[in-house]
Amino acid sequence: MKKVTINDLLEKKDVLKNKKHRKQNIYVPSLDGKIVIQEPSREICAEALEMANDGDVYRSDAHVVYNCVVDPNIKDESLQKEMGCVEPTDIVDILFNAGEVASISGHCMEMAGYGSGIKKLDDELKN
């Protein structure tokens, strides 16, 4: 594995500066179909991590799912009204079971780099 240099970064500057949030299809058993999720923004990740650190892991997962499921558009007001949602995020509980919420959230956070994306190569660097 090669070391990343300044030249490497400069060669990729346009790509790095204009990153688009990646999307992914996932299968949801309770819906017996696919949905499209999108990589969460830094802001959504930070909010979710803060909720989790405050001990509200389920609320954190629901927040990620609500903001990252892009197809179908679960933020659609008519859908939420028809489903009887009091709060916008209520739609998450209505559509998905608890395990699916955690799983979908995990997939989204992994797309944002939380998980196994970075590997430790050396125990200690020596000058």
Q: Quick check: is 100 in a domain?
A: yes
What b-and-e string marks burial along 33-54, b requiring 16 or more CB atoms within 10 Å of the CB? eebebbbbeeebbebbeebbee
Other C-beta atoms closer than 10 Å to the C-beta of 110 total: 14
104, 63 in Cβ contact below 8 A?
no
- Domain containing 83 equals 27-112
The answer to whether residue 108 sits within a structural domain is yes
pTM, entire model: 0.79
96 is a domain residue: yes
In a domain, 85, yes or no: yes
- Residue 59 within a domain: yes
Domain count of the fold of the chain? 1
Q: Is residue 67 part of a domain?
A: yes
Confirm whether 5 is domain-assigned: no
Count Cα neighbours of 8 within 13 Å in the Cβ-side half-sphere: 4
In a domain, 3, yes or no: no
For the stretch 38-95, pLDDT in tens is 999 999 999 999 999 899 888 999 999 999 999 999 999 999 999 999 999 999 999 9
